[in-house]
Amino acid sequence: MNPRKLLSRTPLHLTIWVFAAIWLIPTLGLLITSIRSPSSIAGSGWWTVFPKLFSGGEFSLENYAGVIMKQGLGQSFLNSLKISIPATAISTFVASFAAFGFAWMRFSGQRTLFMVLVGAMIIPLQMTFIPILPIYNKLGLAGTFPGIWLAHTAYGLPIATYLIQSFMAGIPKVLFDSASIDGASPLRTFWSIVMPISVPALASVFIFQFLWIWNDLLVALMYLGGQPDVAPVTMSIANLVTNKGQDWELLTAAAFVSMALPLVVFFSLQRYFVRGILAGSVKG
């Protein structure tokens, strides 16, 4: 890099570092606190551990064992998986069908329907609770996993469809011409051509949806209720804050457990994440 470029990039890099620090320092504090004993947490701040970082002794994974075994976070973790994975998969899957229809098929009312879809993104989901909950109760969906899958799918569909649609609309028309001459039906074109090409967009929508559902508390609280056999991680942590508000070692360990999976998902799919966002926003 030439000096001039370096100079012009410096403010940018500085800003990025500052933001990264603002995000990372509390997380680091969280991590360190979660592996310290209750007495040392009460006795000194987490930043005091650095001088004796390598002498060892002070750290243990006891807190994690505690939250996962005794506080039922292990069960909640499984529940979160049972909620997030199917809900994300269903909404991404349904959204890609809808997106293909909006992007490449012609039917009457298409524009209006698409406007309604985009409009639906603006509606706060809190507004939907009152009309939907009675229906859920009547159908026996409340408190069940299929019920919450359905809810998350519905809430996620507008944005997911919109994002995938904008990507699919950017696929060159000539590929569809070619496929139709090759003899592919619209469904075949969707499976064999559109879906494989759209992997970056699908992956980024998948990540978005997954993170949103994983971190969701409100929808789960409304449609699942607080029973430990169905409660996701977010709800268990909220309960911990209420019941064990003073036990920082448990809260921090629990918080870290809930962060672990999103981090894994993000880092393993991040190349799609960046590519997908670019591909969706910049056509061509």
Partner 1 sequence: MAEVTLTGITKRFGEFTAVDDISMVIEDGKFTVLVGPSGCGKTTTLRMVAGLEDVTAGEIRIGERVVNKVPPKDRNIAMVFQNYALYPHMDVFNNMAFGLKLRKTAKAEIERRVHEAAQLLGIEEKLKSKPRELSGGQRQRVAVGRAIVRDPQVFLFDEPLSNLDAKLRVQMRTELEELHNKLRTTTIYVTHDQVEAMTLGDRIAVMKDGVIQQYAPPQETYDHPANQFVAGFIGSPAMNFFPAEATVQDGRPVLTGPTFKLVLSPEHASVSLPSQVVVGVRPENLDGPVTEKENSIELTVSVLEQLGHTLLVYGYVGETQIVASLDPHKQVALDSVIRLSINMNTLHVFDPSSQQTLI
Interacting residue ranges for partner 1, rule: CB under 8 A: 172, 174-175, 177-184, 188, 192-193, 196-197
Spatial distance between the Cα atoms of 237 and 258, rounded to a whole number of angstroms:
9
Q: Would you say 24 or 187 has its CB closer to partner 1?
A: 187
CB of 242 to partner 1, least distance (A): 50
CB of 279 to partner 1, least distance (A): 12
Q: Would you say 185 or 270 has its CB closer to partner 1?
A: 185
Q: Would you say 188 or 275 has its CB closer to partner 1?
A: 188
Q: Would you say 182 or 229 has its CB closer to partner 1?
A: 182
Q: Would you say 66 or 170 has its CB closer to partner 1?
A: 170
Residue that has been written with the tokens 């939250």 in this structure: 67
Residue that has been written with the tokens 């799609």 in this structure: 272
Termini Cα distance of the chain: 29
Q: Would you say 25 or 175 has its CB closer to partner 1?
A: 175
CB of 89 to partner 1, least distance (A): 21
CB of 188 to partner 1, least distance (A): 7
CA dist 157 → 19, 52, 104, 208 (Å): 31, 50, 18, 12
Q: Would you say 121 or 199 has its CB closer to partner 1?
A: 199
